[in-house]
Structure 1
Amino acid sequence: MRATFSLCSAARTPLIRFVGKRSVPKSVDHTPRVHPASPVGALPDSFAAYRAKAQQHGPLGRSSFTSGIGGQSGHALGPIRPQNGQFFDRAELPARFGRLTFSEAEMEAIETGGASQFA
């Protein structure tokens, strides 16, 4: 018996039944309006004016690219040196801030979850 075939070939009837005939409104007002929760209460003059003032993950205006990073090549920005008291790598820190070395007993305790200390 091929139950799957008979189920797939059956006409699909939706479970939701709508009352009445579909009707599309004759006139829909698509003019832009200010959102009721808008703090400003006014629409922007143009999209370009909005984009010049908008912030997303930083300024969206083109002025930020010409003056900051991205407006010049890396070579033109010059060498990068850390400020006084800042370090780029952990190896440059004084020895007291270096990595600690573990003894064999400590490594065994870590690998066994501490069970080796009580066995």
Structure 2
Amino acid sequence: MRATIALGNAFRTPLIRFVGKRSVPSAVDHTPRVHPASPEGALPDSFATYRAKAQQHGPLGRAQFTGGIGGSAGASLGPIRPGAGEFFDRAELPTRFGRLPWSQAEIEAIETGGASMYA
């Protein structure tokens, strides 16, 4: 080992140089402000009013669930049938789209991790 390289790494100086002394600002304004890209341009009155109007994968308010999504069981909506040209399972497709059967060589290659292909 070359000692000069080891000694050179021991006294490494960072390439980034900061100007001035480290200081934390004494007065920081933490009051809530409207985001510049906000569509309303105003802060909500409270979190409860915001949550009543918010949407995330459907309405978040509890009052909206009584008659809308989730207000009744799925079975009460009636039977679900696929439309023309739609299939729910791959097994329902025509045979030309079915899975191909595995050959014995492919099964052996998978079980041995590919080692049987070279042995």
Indicate whether 1:34 and 2:43 are aligned: no
How do 1:98-109 residues align onto structure 2 when only pairs under 5 Å count?
98-109=98-109
Deviation at 1:80, TM superposition (A): 0.9
53-62 vs 35-44, which deviates more?
A: 35-44
Residues 109 and 117 of structure 2 are in contact (CA less than 8 Å); yes or no, is this contact kept in structure 1?
Answer: yes
- Partner in structure 1 of residue 7 of structure 2: none
Structure 1: which 5+ runs fail to align? 1-32
Q: Structure 1 residues 47, 36: closer, same or farther in 2, change over 3 A?
A: closer
List per-residue Cα deviations over 1:53-111 (Å, max 9, x = no partner): 21234321346424433112223201111122221122111111212211111111121
Equivalent residues, number: 87
- Partner in structure 1 of residue 110 of structure 2: 110
In structure 2, how many angstroms separate the alpha carbons of the residues matched to 1:64 and 1:84?
A: 33
List per-residue Cα deviations over 1:11-67 (Å, max 9, x = no partner): xxxxxxxxxxxxxxxxxxxxxx53364635522234443222212343213464244
Scaled by the length of structure 2, the TM-score of the pair is 0.56
Scaled by the length of structure 1, the TM-score of the pair is 0.56
Residues 51 and 60 of structure 1 are in contact (CA less than 8 Å); yes or no, is this contact kept in structure 2?
Answer: yes
